[in-house]
Amino acid sequence: MRRLASALAALCILAAAPAAMAQSRPAGAASVTFQVPDGWMAETAPGRVRISAPEGDLSLWAVEAPDAPDAATAILKAWAVVQPGFDRKVRLSSQRAGRDGWDEIWATDYEVSPDEKLLLLANAYRRGKAWVVLLGRGSAATADKRLGQARVILDTFRPAGVAVENFAGKPAAPFDAAKRAAVKQFWRETMPAFGVPGMAYAFFDRNGIVEEGGIGVRTLGKPAPVDAHTRFMIASNTKGMTTLLLARLVDQGKLSWDERVVDADKTFKMGDPTVQDTIKIRHLVCACTGMPRQDLEWIMTGDLKTPADRAFALLAPMKPTSKFGEVYQYSNLLASAAGYVAGHVIYPGVETGAAYDKAMQGYIFDPLGMKDTTFSKAVAERGDHADPHGLDADGKPAVGTIDKSDSIYFARPAGGAWSSAHDLALYALNELREGVLPNGQRLVSAEALLARRKQGMVTGEAKYYGMGVETSSRWGVTMVRHGGAMPGYKTDWIILPDAGVGLVMLFNSEESTPLLNFTSRRLVELLYGARAEAVASAKASAVALKADFAKERTLLAIPPDPAVIAKLGARYESPELGFIDVKRQSDGGVVFDFGSFSSRMGTRKNEDGSTNLVMLDPTTVGWSLSTRPAGDRFALVMQDAQHEYVYQPVR
């Protein structure tokens, strides 16, 4: 499920210290340096080093290929050293912009069937005439749960002897009109390359919003422009607002960060008794409990009629897949429980969802002046709002025919708010002012607010997840931020406390994640004089995206393979994910109706002979189901990295 994995890869605080990072310059690969996460094993040999995850089923290799004439040859030479006879078919090899001292970077992925549950990759890096290759092979489940640690290796993979940019202690340049114009120009130049129709933005400093507005349109094919009050689904940016509610309750003595959840809410249950008895309020939003995402269970079944208590029902049987406090694993359902527990504390006896909504309105939205923000999709869509978009199966921008914003509504403390650039800036401004409102009154104590930023689980180089906020000191520049992603929407807020400035950005496209990431880099370039990398990186990423869609289109059969369709039942059911009604079309096409949404389907044959049914409609293009024999029919299997769900034919 290539596209689904990236969509969900849409993500902690403990008393214990986070995983230690040790700078490594292995003797076996002296031309490269990187950091090895605590608990990982490094083994060296001449010209190479192997780094293995604690589970033993996932390894990365850094292999020198100094005499290779190009990236493809370097990768072949590296595999010949690590795994003689390696003959996997390359799916796609694409060039990325040079960075961190590398002159050239190529990323290669391979044809892998979902049923293999295998991570397989090769990145080739060139400095001067010499190549170094980073290979990866192993369990997709281990890669998923150790993603934060793996990002550290990738983020710090640099040529030996290249000085890391470090602007610690350097004053930032003023974020004046010219620099703001440069950021807006960056967006204007890159949005068309990614097929993004519109965005809203706001810039602010400690005195308030300095500039706000929009670029592009709310809906492709319609003239209405995006403005600062256009509502977008802000998804996981709701989490920080939820933890701000918790912080206010901590100030009032109604909750404690270290209070056990079962003491705050006697009805709280988890599938693992140890986790249930141990988990504290802070752990609900720290991504540190070892609980995996399991997002498919709400994505595929949730709608606007699903009751809020469903979040607790889904949590009850869940069990951790890593140790408590070991790695970063993002759980939307745990975060939703945090908000609902807070609502229950304030308004006991009120329906779970209504109590949370009322608490957020009175404790957060009203005091901050967030008049555009709502949990009601009906309210959002009655006024100025942006529609979701994505690329279609041919790689062309299109209005999303599938709006999955309904799915999160029952778990809305984790990601169900609709908001505008203006309102999100008011929230982020409160983060920058550390709890002091523009009128000088204090909304929340600095102690309670900053507890949410306390260094938690590692998410990348010098990056840590707190409670609904992520803090980074990469390049020696402190940034506090959080992102939000639902199919068709991507949002982010960033503050630079030392510079006293920040911005928010809201995009109405599934493909805009790179714009969020490269904007952070662009800020460091403009304010601190960092090397100019963001523009080139964005352009290369856009080219790679188009190549990815073009390649995948060559592998899709549209209409789907008749032989596969002939073995489909008329209806499928899964205990966890609900049902699929299979609707055959007169033109040979097939539509899968999942109840909460439907999509046209294509087929894709894998290298191992298996076949996937692949969704074709924006914003879920590429989400897929594997086929497995079930008598004279196929069973259908939907997977994330750590779970699989089987739909059995019932007629």
pLDDT digits (tens, 9 = 90+) for 364-374: 999 999 999 99
Q: Name the token pair of 474.
A: 């990469």
The structural domains of the chain, with segments of one domain joined by +, span: 26-159, 177-546, 558-649
- In this prediction, residues 164-179 reach a mean pLDDT of 97
| Residue entry with tokens 């006024």 | 383
- In this prediction, residues 27-37 reach a mean pLDDT of 84
Selected from 3.40.50, 3.40.198, 3.10.20, 2.40.128, the CATH number assigned to the domain covering 558-649 reads 2.40.128
Per-residue pLDDT at 10: 30
Least confident range of 14-28, 88-102, 163-177, 486-500: 14-28
The tens digit of pLDDT for each residue in 333-368 reads 999 999 999 999 999 999 999 999 999 999 999 999
Burial class (CB in 10 A: 0-12, 13-18, 19+), 211: middle
Q: Name the token pair of 328.
A: 């970063």
b/e 103-141 (16+ beta carbons within 10 angstroms → b)? eebbbbbbebbbbebbbbebbbbbbeebbbbbbbbbbbb
Instruction: Indicate if the pLDDT at residue 582 is higher than 70.
Output: yes
For residues 317 and 75, the model is more confident at 75
For residues 607 and 637, the model is more confident at 637
In CATH, what number does 177-546 get? 3.40.710.10
Per-residue pLDDT at 18: 28
Least confident range of 210-224, 316-330, 452-466: 316-330
Instruction: Indicate if the pLDDT at residue 327 is higher than 70.
Output: yes
Instruction: Indicate if the pLDDT at residue 415 is higher than 80.
Output: yes
CA distance 257 to 403: 35
CA distance 509 to 505: 12
CA distance 157 to 148: 15
Per-residue pLDDT at 150: 95
* Radius of gyration from C-alpha coordinates of the chain: 24
Closest by CA to 469, choosing from 236, 255, 280, is 236
Per-residue pLDDT at 13: 21
Instruction: Indicate if the pLDDT at residue 19 is higher than 70.
Output: no
Provide the whole-model pTM: 0.94
Per-residue pLDDT at 122: 98
In percent, the amount of the chain with pLDDT more than 70 equals 96
Instruction: Indicate if the pLDDT at residue 3 is higher than 80.
Output: no
Per-residue pLDDT at 269: 82
Counting DSSP H helices and E strands in the chain, the numbers are 19, 31
- In this prediction, residues 165-177 reach a mean pLDDT of 97
Per-residue pLDDT at 16: 26
**Cβ neighbour number for residue 476 with a 10 Å cutoff:** 17
Per-residue pLDDT at 178: 98
- In this prediction, residues 34-42 reach a mean pLDDT of 94
Instruction: Indicate if the pLDDT at residue 12 is higher than 50.
Output: no
Per-residue pLDDT at 227: 98
Instruction: Indicate if the pLDDT at residue 644 is higher than 50.
Output: yes
Own/partner pairs for 18-23, CB < 8 Å, 24+ apart?
18/455, 18/456, 18/457, 18/458, 18/464, 19/149, 19/326, 19/327, 19/457, 19/458, 21/152, 21/458
Least confident range of 54-58, 274-278, 553-557: 274-278
First to last CA, the chain: 26
CA distance 420 to 368: 13
For residues 401 and 171, the model is more confident at 171
Question: DSSP letter at 21?
Answer: E
Average pLDDT value over all residues in the chain? 93
Per-residue pLDDT at 7: 32
Using CA atoms, how far residue 480 sits from 128, 186, 254, 423, 468, in Å, is 35, 21, 27, 18, 11
| Residue entry with tokens 């403990």 | 14
Instruction: Indicate if the pLDDT at residue 447 is higher than 90.
Output: yes
**Could you tell me which residues come within 8 angstroms of residue 620 by beta carbon, excluding any fewer than 6 positions away?**
3, 4, 7, 390, 402, 404, 487, 597, 599
| Residue entry with tokens 């056990």 | 260
The tens digit of pLDDT for each residue in 219-267 reads 999 999 999 999 999 999 999 999 999 999 999 999 999 999 999 988 8
Instruction: Indicate if the pLDDT at residue 1 is higher than 70.
Output: no
Per-residue pLDDT at 642: 93
Under CATH, domain 26-159 is a member of which superfamily?
Mog1/PsbP, alpha/beta/alpha sandwich (3.40.1000.10)
Q: Name the token pair of 462.
A: 């010098």
CA distance 450 to 434: 7
Per-residue pLDDT at 28: 64
| Residue entry with tokens 């990145």 | 123
- In this prediction, residues 180-195 reach a mean pLDDT of 98
CA distance 353 to 356: 5
CA distance 70 to 405: 44
